[in-house]
Amino acid sequence: MDDCIFCRIVKGELPASKIHEDEHTLAFLNIVAAHPGHALVIVKEHVENLYGLSDAQSAAVFQATTRVARAVKAATGCDGVTLFQANEVAGGQTVFHFHIHVLPRFKEDNLLPFWKASAPGRAELDEMAARLREVL
């Protein structure tokens, strides 16, 4: 896609501070970083979101993300790492090319708000599990 910022980075049309690259993936530092070391891991081929990934791309991107997360942890000395991946506008996606954020986290950084937890009953959980199994 000619107007996709991540496709342009893959093609070398835009600069990026690259961390890792293989046949299917590219990882680079986010220019709008939450903390130093905030990285993005993308699939090289233009795939809009998680739903369009092939099994090979899915495996490759998670393997690359694991490697990058280990590097972020070691290089930054952070207390932990959060992986963030959003799909579609309602899910919080703003760049429509599949990517995973690797966020170095520090104690009490209050970086991400967390959702209000609910406690559905076992019957509700079992019903949803059955619906999901049926779709799979």
Task: Report the first-to-last Cα separation within the chain, whole angstroms.
Answer: 31
Catalytic residue list contains 38 = no
Specify the DSSP class assigned to residue 50.
G
Residue 1 pLDDT > 70, yes or no?
no
List 80's β-bridge partners, or say none.
105
Token pair recorded at residue 86:
């959003």
Note if the pTM is more than 0.85.
yes
Map out the domains of the chain as residue ranges: 5-135
Average pLDDT, whole number, for the chain? 94
Counts for the chain of helices (H) and strands (E), in that order: 3, 5
CATH 3.30.365.10 fits 5-135, yes or no: no
pLDDT at position 115: 74
Residue where the block lists tokens 């049309």:
13
The CA distance from 68 to 56, in Å, is 18
* Residue from 38, 97, 99, 101 carrying the catalytic annotation: 99
